[in-house]
Chain A
Amino acid sequence: MGLFTKFDGLAAGRAELGALGIDPFAVKIEKIISPTEGIIHGRHTILAGTNNYLGLTFNPECIASARLALENEGTGTTGSRMANGSYSGHRNLEKELAAFYGKRDAIVFSTGYVANLGMISTLAGPGDVVLLDADCHACIYDGCRLGGAETIRFRHNDAEDLAKRLRRLGSRAAEALIVVEGIYSMLGDRAPLKEIVAVKREFGGYLMVDEAHSFGVLGERGCGLVEELGIMDDVDFIVGTFSKSLGCAGGFCVSNMPELDLIRYASRPYIFTASPAPATIASARQALRILESGKDLRQKLHDNAARLHAGLAALGYTLGGPPSPVVAVVLEGKVEALQFWDSLLKLGVYVNLMLPPATPNGVSLIRCSVSAAHTSEQIDAVCAAFAKLRTKA
């Protein structure tokens, strides 16, 4: 078997797309105009698949902070914090995140992917057990793999199945790491965190919640689902990303565990990659300040999400979950989804196409993500495009 034989399946898949003349993985945004608009294939397009939940990518204060850091601190850190040292911004952002969550401390990582990789692989090594929701993001699976812990999936959003598996672990349950997400990225559904916390209370273990899609989105102050449900003290680790609500890049973990700081010295994805650039840190800090300063953006986001969800439901589409900033339309098959996605793009609406095996239960999805920066007119225009395709079908 040759080195490249394993790509035969991929090559066939690419050829299939080529034959259809549709390539959803090679979309070029020729010009980005605003958080919600761009030029794609020469066409003015509404962006409704960016995870830019609060629409902060063009926020003047974030840009000003980033520019100042860029000019004062340079374009990059050129190394990891262990080797090259931390800039004041790295540590300040950690303190601000910890204060925002009311937790003891925080660690900032280079991306959200790296945050999960760095935390999970370090916490759970050979001989340890991780129990994860079957629909968890790839980086959570990859963190388990890198760490080498025994990794057990439980049925998506099924606290009873989790309980069953903890019971099977016997005395090992007390030291197991349970990993779930706040809002799941594909369907926009939420974890039954109260039930999961109750199971954890019964069997023991440590609970990590990845709030990638709920940080800045849920909760009175925008901390996420954990805050909304009032279970902050029951969750041992909260992981998140700056790449969605904060509109830049980077990841973090906050925790009350006194051992959190020790993770730094053992976490390969923390030690062996460059730390976030000064401008990135500065815009993350500014975006966090904006997030903390009020609920207007969150309210606007939820109004937009409700508008899109109601609009698509009224058209008779099958939606992946209740209203949330992720609104997923479930379609019959792969080819139908591909053509649907392509037609939307031709109508000037960019959304995400999600195909199996990346999707739960092997479904094909047209995944929209809503932003606080969308105007009601833009949401209506997205609905109108879906309406056109409905009559066609």
Chain B
Amino acid sequence: MTEYDRILADLIKGLAPFTNGKTVTENTELVGDLDLDSLKIMELLLFVEDSFDISIPVSILPDVKTVGDLAKQVEKILGNA
């Protein structure tokens, strides 16, 4: 299992409270598929930040569409630490 896969698995597990029971994969879109509004996205990010003990910069948010995008960003931030 690569670092990315581990992060993705953790993310998918952590996303459960935000998904209304929908199945989540790497390609699930946060806004498009999960219907998360900006407030929910903010809550989700705070949750992800705390679970990985990182801060996600505001500027990368436009690049995050899918759960996989988010996993990639988390991996990048953890790699820089």
- B30-53 residues with Cβ-Cβ distance < 8 A to A are 37-39, 42, 46, 53
Chain A 135-173, CB-CB to B under 8 Å as 1, else 0, gives 000000100110000111101000000000100111000
A9 to chain B, nearest CB (A): 12
The reply to whether B39 and A168 form a contact with Cβ atoms under 8 Å apart is no
CA distance A221 to B56 in the complex (A): 40
The reply to whether A153 and B58 form a contact with Cβ atoms under 8 Å apart is yes
Given A168-B53, A362-B37, also A144-B46 (CB < 8 A): no
The reply to whether B57 and A152 form a contact with Cβ atoms under 8 Å apart is yes
CA distance A145 to B46 in the complex (A): 21
For B54, B55, B57, the residue with the greatest tally of chain A CB atoms inside 10 Å of its CB is B55
Say yes or no: is A331 at the interface (Cβ < 8 Å to chain B): no
- A91-128 residues with Cβ-Cβ distance < 8 A to B are none
CA distance A169 to B80 in the complex (A): 11
Question: With a CB–CB cut-off of 8 A, which chain A residues contact B58?
Answer: 141, 144, 151-153
A20 to chain B, nearest CB (A): 21
A316 to chain B, nearest CB (A): 26
From A145, A152, A362, give the contact of B55 (CB < 8 A). A152
The reply to whether B39 and A361 form a contact with Cβ atoms under 8 Å apart is yes
Question: With a CB–CB cut-off of 8 A, which chain B residues contact A22?
Answer: none
Say yes or no: is A60 at the interface (Cβ < 8 Å to chain B): no
A78 to chain B, nearest CB (A): 36
Residue total for A at the interface (Cβ-Cβ under 8 A): 17
B35 to chain A, nearest CB (A): 14
Interface bin, chain B: 10 to 19
Question: With a CB–CB cut-off of 8 A, which chain B residues contact A152?
Answer: 55-58
B33 to chain A, nearest CB (A): 19
Say yes or no: is A357 at the interface (Cβ < 8 Å to chain B): yes
Given A168-B53, A168-B54, also A362-B59 (CB < 8 A): no
Say yes or no: is A134 at the interface (Cβ < 8 Å to chain B): yes
Question: With a CB–CB cut-off of 8 A, which chain B residues contact A145?
Answer: 59
CA distance A151 to B58 in the complex (A): 6
The reply to whether B57 and A150 form a contact with Cβ atoms under 8 Å apart is yes
A-B residue pairs in contact (CB < 8 Å), sample of 29: A134-B42, A141-B58, A144-B58, A145-B59, A150-B57, A150-B59, A151-B57, A151-B58, A151-B59, A152-B55, A152-B56, A152-B57, A152-B58, A153-B58, A155-B46, A165-B55, A168-B53, A168-B54, A168-B55, A168-B81, A169-B55, A170-B81, A356-B38, A356-B39, A357-B38, A361-B39, A362-B37, A362-B38, A362-B39
Known: A144-B58, A145-B59. 15 other contacts (CB 8 A): A134-B42, A150-B57, A150-B59, A151-B57, A151-B58, A152-B55, A152-B58, A155-B46, A168-B54, A169-B55, A357-B38, A361-B39, A362-B37, A362-B38, A362-B39
Which residues of B approach A to under 8 Å, CB–CB?
37-39, 42, 46, 53-59, 81
Closest 8 CB pairs of A and B: A362-B39, A152-B55, A151-B58, A150-B57, A165-B55, A357-B38, A168-B55, A151-B57
